[in-house]
Each structure stands twice: as C-alpha cells, then as structure tokens.
Chain A
C-alpha cells in the first residue's frame, strides 16, 4: 500500500471520524492494519507476548496522538512509523535488560506452518530439511542488527517498496537499499551451510 502524495489517503474518512471521537472508526483502523503491524512486530521481536503488548501500546499511542495527526503522510505510513519506532525502542530496552537468548524467543516461529510446503508432505526428508532451513533462517534473522532486521522485515516479508520503507524510516532510499544489501549478504553467509 504505497504512500502516493498525489492520491488522497484512503483512510481519510475513518481518521476524521476517529478524530471526532468515533471509537468504531478507530476500531476499523485497528482491524485494517492490525495484521500487517502484527507481522512487522512479530518478525522483529520473535516473541508472541511481546508482540501483543507492543501492539496494544502502538495503537494506544496512535489513539492518543490522533488529534495531532495532520495528514502530511498517509495514516498507514504514520502508524507504521509509530510501530517501527516503538519496536526499536523496545528491542533496545530488551537487549539492555537481560540479553535475551534465542531459547527465550518464541519457539512457534520455528515451526511456522506457513513455511511448510504441502507439495513436499509426501517427502519427509525434504520436509525435515525445510524445517531445519526455516529454523536457521529465523536464527539468522535474529542475528541481524535491529536496523537491518527492520528493512528485511518490511521489504522481504511484508513486501513494502523501497520508497515506502524510506518514508517510514525517514531515511533515503539509498540507505534502505544499502541496508538490505548488507542484510542479504549476512543471511547468505549464515545459511550457506544448510543450502544445497
């Protein structure tokens, strides 16, 4: 959902109603962007409870800041900015707090059914290799710096274009491309032992 300055914000009506105190309009915005933001936060934190709490905080912050939203960017870009900033702050705090180990992170992300290719169900050997690869991929993702993980999550997992990511991160497209390049090199080297 790119942010085109020439196009009117598709959420303008919902946003105006929410600004005027219509809680149902804000609910509609939560339902519209909740899943996308859940994916963003989950892939950055790899922790379901943290994702849930962060998502509550993100929407609470958006709700309280909504009267100050002037529509210079689309609502979509604006709420993504809130989500990315809050998640990055959270990750910094979490790192300082205890240096969370991989074992504490959500094990379910390593058994993600989305990565199970049904065409290989008849081939248990291939299936188990896919599981192993998925596990290594998640570990490799967690070994990326937060800045690199953010761009990989937004570009490779969420499918956002470079320009949109640059707008959300308030940086240049060049920086986004550069971060992606280094992040991909890192993932390649981490996965090379498991790739056939």
Chain B
C-alpha cells in the first residue's frame, strides 16, 4: 500500500525538530571569528601582523605601560647580547730572533777518524790466519 502525499508530508514534517546539540552555535561563532581573523591575517601579509600587534597593544589599557617597559628591557637585552664584540687590542707582533747556528761536525765522521784503519794493524794482504 502506498502512503498518501499528506502522510509523507507529515512524516517529513517531523524532521523539522532536528536540531544541533545544545551550545553548538556558541562554538560555531567562536570558530567563525577565529577563521575570519586567520583569513584576514593571511590576506594582509606582514603588514597585517604589524597592524594586529598594534591593535592588540592599544587595546591593553593601563597595563600597556608594563608591557611596554618589559618590551623595551627585552629589546635592550637582545641588542646587548646580539651586538658584535668591540675590537680587541691586537697582540704585539713577535720580534724576530736571529741565532747563528754553526753546523755541528757529524758524529759519524769523528767515529771514522777514531778508528785505526792502517794496514799494519789489519794483517798482511793475502795472508789469512786460521
């Protein structure tokens, strides 16, 4: 048996009551604004970051002075740490020292001189003693 058009309409009308869960639209709005802010920053590039930072700073109220002092201190510290070192005093150039170096007589020659190489002490030529 076919349902009538009215019956189908009544069945479908029950779906009117479908709703997202409680609190859904609070989260939805938060996400919507978050996405929008990110979109704006992406579109505007580095100048957008700067504008955002300055808007945040101007919205701080009285505490902006504390933040400002902190920022200044951090900047000075960073400059101090990152600045290149002052040129140091160069050490004096080494003074050349001139020594006269006399070559020593080779030890081997002396040893040779000390040896008695005369034939009398060596025995006769062609004579061998057994």
Least distance between A22 CB and chain B CB atoms (Å) = 13
Pick from B5, B13, B18, B33: contact of A112, CB below 8 A: B18
Least distance between B17 CB and chain A CB atoms (Å) = 4
Interface residues of A in 38-62 (CB under 8 A from B): 38-39, 42-43, 52, 55-56, 59-60
**Residue pair B2, A152 in contact (C-beta under 8 Å):** no
Task: Please count the residue pairs between chain A and chain B whose beta carbons lie under 8 angstroms apart in the complex.
Answer: 82
**Residue pair B2, A60 in contact (C-beta under 8 Å):** no
CA distance A59 to B34 in the complex (A): 13
Interface residues of B in 1-35 (CB under 8 A from A): 1-5, 7-9, 11-20, 25, 28-29, 31-33, 35
Pick from A35, A39, A158, A187: contact of B8, CB below 8 A: A187
**Residue pair B20, A38 in contact (C-beta under 8 Å):** yes
Contacts of B51 in A (CB 8 A): none
Interface residues of A in 94-125 (CB under 8 A from B): 109, 112, 114-115
**Residue pair B28, A34 in contact (C-beta under 8 Å):** yes
Contacts of A23 in B (CB 8 A): 33
CA distance A181 to B16 in the complex (A): 20
**Residue pair B1, A192 in contact (C-beta under 8 Å):** yes
**Residue pair B13, A159 in contact (C-beta under 8 Å):** yes
Closest to A42 in B: B18
B interface residue count range (under 10 / 10 to 19 / 20 to 34 / 35 or more): 20 to 34
- Knowing A60-B35, A196-B1 touch, does A43 contact B29 (C-beta < 8 A)? no
Least distance between A182 CB and chain B CB atoms (Å) = 12
Taking each of B3, B7, B17, B29, which has the highest tally of chain A beta carbons within 10 Å of its own beta carbon?
Answer: B3
CA distance A196 to B24 in the complex (A): 38
CA distance A60 to B31 in the complex (A): 11
Closest to A152 in B: B12
**Residue pair B5, A157 in contact (C-beta under 8 Å):** no
**Residue pair B2, A188 in contact (C-beta under 8 Å):** yes
**Residue pair B36, A63 in contact (C-beta under 8 Å):** yes
A27 at the interface (CB under 8 A from B): yes
Closest to B39 in A: A60
Least distance between A186 CB and chain B CB atoms (Å) = 10
CA distance A34 to B28 in the complex (A): 9
CA distance A54 to B2 in the complex (A): 35
CA distance A112 to B20 in the complex (A): 11
**Residue pair B19, A137 in contact (C-beta under 8 Å):** no
Contacts of B9 in A (CB 8 A): 156, 184
Known: A30-B32, A112-B15, A114-B16. 10 other contacts (CB 8 A): A31-B25, A34-B28, A39-B16, A43-B15, A56-B28, A114-B17, A133-B11, A189-B2, A191-B8, A196-B1
Which 8 A-B pairs rank lowest in CB-CB distance, beginning with the nearest?
A: A114-B17, A156-B12, A195-B3, A192-B2, A188-B2, A157-B15, A184-B5, A115-B14
- Residues on B close to A: CB < 8 A? 1-5, 7-9, 11-20, 25, 28-29, 31-33, 35-36, 39
- Residues on A close to B: CB < 8 A? 23, 27, 30-31, 34-35, 38-39, 42-43, 52, 55-56, 59-60, 63, 109, 112, 114-115, 133-134, 137, 152, 156-159, 184, 187-189, 191-192, 195-196
